[in-house]
Amino acid sequence: MIKVEYAERLRHLPPYLFAEIDRLKREEVKKGADLIDLSIGDPDLPTPKHIVESLKRASEKPEHHRYPSYEGMLSFRQAVAGWYNRRFGVHLDPLTEVLSLIGSKEGIGHIPLAFTGPGDVVLYTSPGYPVYPVGALFAGAEGYPLPLLESNNFLPELASIPEDVLKRARLLFINYPNNPTGATADEDFFKKVVEFAGRHNIIVCHDAAYSEIYYDGKKPASFLQTPGAKDVGIEFHSLSKTYNMTGWRLGFAVGHRGVIAGLGKIKTNLDSGVFQAVQEAGISALNTEDADLSGIRQTYQQRRDALYTGLTEQGIHVIKPEAAFYLWARCPKGFDSRSFASHLLEKAAVVATPGVGFGQPGEGYIRFALTVPVERIGEAVRRIGKSL
């Protein structure tokens, strides 16, 4: 029997947050608990029918049964460029400024491999998507968290970064609408990011996966709408949340052609292209009329309002989001984020995500995902109130 020893990079790797939550959920289900799962941002709504039908038709085409291109079908990249032009007024060259991805997680995790190494620093907002610092770790770089505080509307203080860190910084990850806080960023903030990145020669990686889940008609902006943004960075996007396509694994990166090319070099050596039938379905998705998506947003708004009102009435301080399908709430007095998540699971059979799992600045908060029907949200609120 061989002795299996993990590489050094895995020894420093924390348990993946959502895998640990899945393990705890399985244990409670074995006990017979009727769990209400508000933990992981996986839409419960089905993929729109016309997108599914497009996949069915495309999957029968023999030309799609062979290896796909790494960068993505030109027709898909043209659809991405067309969508960006219609939605944001941003013009993209489909040949050099668009790259298909097997979900945006692939690109986010791999881009540090293209531009960083030992001695370099990757700046990232925290609390945030756990893949940002993990990608830096795998590249041998050092992650440097930028705290997102409620007192600053969950925007990072770029001016607070020490000079010695700035000298080594190569990438900056930002994410608006934000996961987990639900915060949005305005044009002034993006302008500051563009100026900051240009002054320090730092590549900006904006994760915009939640731009189309918004409330009260307040459409979030794209980072690339900002003058000069395409000169300093790229934007990651995904069809997962907008079109309820999490399992389809289809996303893309757009923006600075040199950065896109570098990410593409990693992809060609470590990864593969997206199944072309899925890309054809993606074209159908990107050409969906916005009015057809309003029903999805309306559903999330009803859920947001129900959970926000219910938790607030229970005396829990909740930040009301303008976008994304999460509620970021302060833990009640006497709890930290892990103990409150455990309390909810054991005493209310409600699954939520401890804020500290998104980074140390998330301590004292908990995240609820709006991925169950309003009726179940009402039941969750009732159980939480009873447990407290």
Residue 7 lies in a domain: no
Residues 117 and 35 in one domain: no
Q: Same structural domain for residues 270 and 321? A: no
List, for residues 225-273, the tens digit of each pLDDT value: 999 999 999 999 999 999 999 999 999 999 999 999 999 999 999 989 9
DSSP 330: E
Query: Dihedral sign, CA of 122, 127, 128, 133?
Result: positive
Q: What's the pLDDT tens digit per position in 213-225?
A: 999 999 999 999 9
Domain identity same for 89 and 147: yes
Q: Report, as an integer, the average pLDDT of 287-306.
A: 94
Residue that finishes a domain, picked among 286, 307, 338: 286
Residue 221 lies in a domain: yes
Residue ranges making up the domain that contains 261: 49-286
> For all residues of the chain together, what is the average pLDDT?
95
Torsion of Cα atoms, 352 then 321 then 15 then 120, to 10°: -170
Query: Residue 16: which pLDDT band, with cuts at 50, 70 and 90?
Result: low
| 162 prior amide bond cis, ω within 30 | no
Assess whether 183 and 276 both reside in one domain: yes
Where among 266, 286, 306 does a domain terminate?
286
pLDDT 10s digits, 156-166: 999 999 999 99
Do 167 and 83 share a structural domain? yes
Domain count, the chain: 2
69 and 34 both lie in a single domain: no
Same structural domain, 63 and 193: yes
Q: Confidence class of residue 23 from pLDDT cuts 50, 70 and 90?
A: confident
Domain edge (last residue) among 262, 286, 310: 286
CB 307 within 8 A of CB 379: no
Q: Please name which of 268, 242, 236, 283 lies closest in space to residue 103, comparing C-alpha atoms.
A: 236
Q: Is 185 exposed, middle or buried (0-12, 13-18, 19+ CB in 10 A)?
A: buried
Please report whether residue 68 resides in a domain. yes
Paired with 238 in beta bridges are 251
CATH code for the domain of 306: 3.90.1150.10
Query: What is the C-alpha separation between 338 and 220, in angstroms, rounded?
Result: 31
Angle formed at CA 82 by CA 195 and CA 370, multiple of 5 degrees = 75
Give the pLDDT band of residue 20 (cuts 50, 70, 90). confident
Contacts of 261 (CB under 8 A, 6+ apart): 96
pTM above 0.85, yes or no: yes
Nearest residue to 41 via CA among 294, 250, 279, 213: 213
Distance (Å, whole) CA 280 – CA 54: 7
Say yes or no: 276 and 142 in one domain.
Answer: yes
- Of 271, 263, 230, the C-alpha closest to 99 is 263
